[in-house]
Amino acid sequence: MIKKGDDIGRLIVECVKDQGDDVRDSDVIVVAQKIVSKSEGRVVDLKDVVPSFFAREVARRTRRNARHVEVILRETSRIVRMQKSHIITQTRHGFICANAGVDRSNVSGRSHVVLLPEDPDESATAIRTSIFQLSKRDVAVIVSDTFGRPWRLGYVNVAIGVAGMNPLKDYRGTKDLFDRTLTVTMIAVADELASAAELVMNKADGTPVAIIRGYSHPGGNGSAKDLIRPQELDMFS
């Protein structure tokens, strides 16, 4: 049960020790957005929210709670689609997802909602730094959240914050097995790592951290913003 001010990096180092292990160089540590947001106090009590006229209008059209919509809009830079009760927005960080990432599950108090971290890359960096200070181990950190997708059913875990690695593996210029330049040139390995981690984190199970060991990540020090497709290259927003 994470509360505001908790040092997630320290908790990870301690929990790993409690399991008779230690974090290692090159570990990729995937941390669920929910606990990061809680540690940063990104929780809002809807009782304290006064919805704007626009929020009330959106709430009416989507048959949603106006205070909840108000919080969503505060996190929104652009409404991408509104249909039935669905509100798909671009968040202040640039991610496109439902409800600007504002979520009601796994938070105590019926009237509370959890927002995405203000800067998930910075959150990842803070966790990475804290782990380094305590263990002298150079890990990569991914802050993850589960997003829906167009065209495909089911949510998958993706990276919304990254530190200590590049989120994209770049095959540009490499040749395929028949010495022809590859057409698929960039793999979003940070998203694939987040997805791999979800398989052991399990949404409902309260396992908010997973360590991926033995994967040779691309190194570098990228940002989850590298994963955001610029609008002018996007055919679907």
List contacts with its own copies (CB under 8 A): 81, 83, 86, 88, 95-96, 103-110, 146, 149-158, 167-169, 171, 174-178, 180, 182-184, 186-189, 191-193, 195-196, 198-200, 203-204, 206, 215, 226-229, 234-237
Distance of closest approach, residue 9 Cβ to its own copies, in angstroms: 22
At 205, which amino acid appears?
Answer: D
| C-alpha separations of 3 from 42, 43, 64, 78, 117 in Å | 10, 10, 28, 30, 14
Distance of closest approach, residue 23 Cβ to its own copies, in angstroms: 19
Distance of closest approach, residue 56 Cβ to its own copies, in angstroms: 22
Burial of 64 (0-12, 13-18, 19+ CB in 10 A): middle
In contact, 103 and 146? CB cutoff 8 Å: no
Residue 89 or 123 having the CB closest to its own copies: 89
Distance of closest approach, residue 222 Cβ to its own copies, in angstroms: 11
Residue 90 or 123 having the CB closest to its own copies: 90
Residue 50 or 153 having the CB closest to its own copies: 153
Distance of closest approach, residue 53 Cβ to its own copies, in angstroms: 25
CA distance 98 to 195: 18
Distance of closest approach, residue 12 Cβ to its own copies, in angstroms: 19
Q: What angle do CA 113, 71, 108 make, to 5 degrees?
A: 10
Residue 18 or 174 having the CB closest to its own copies: 174
Residue 107 or 134 having the CB closest to its own copies: 107
Residue 19 or 83 having the CB closest to its own copies: 83
Q: What angle do CA 170, 197, 85 make, to 5 degrees?
A: 95
Burial 163-194 (b: 16+ CB within 10 A, else e): bbbbbbeeeeeeeeeeeeeeeeeeebbbbbbb
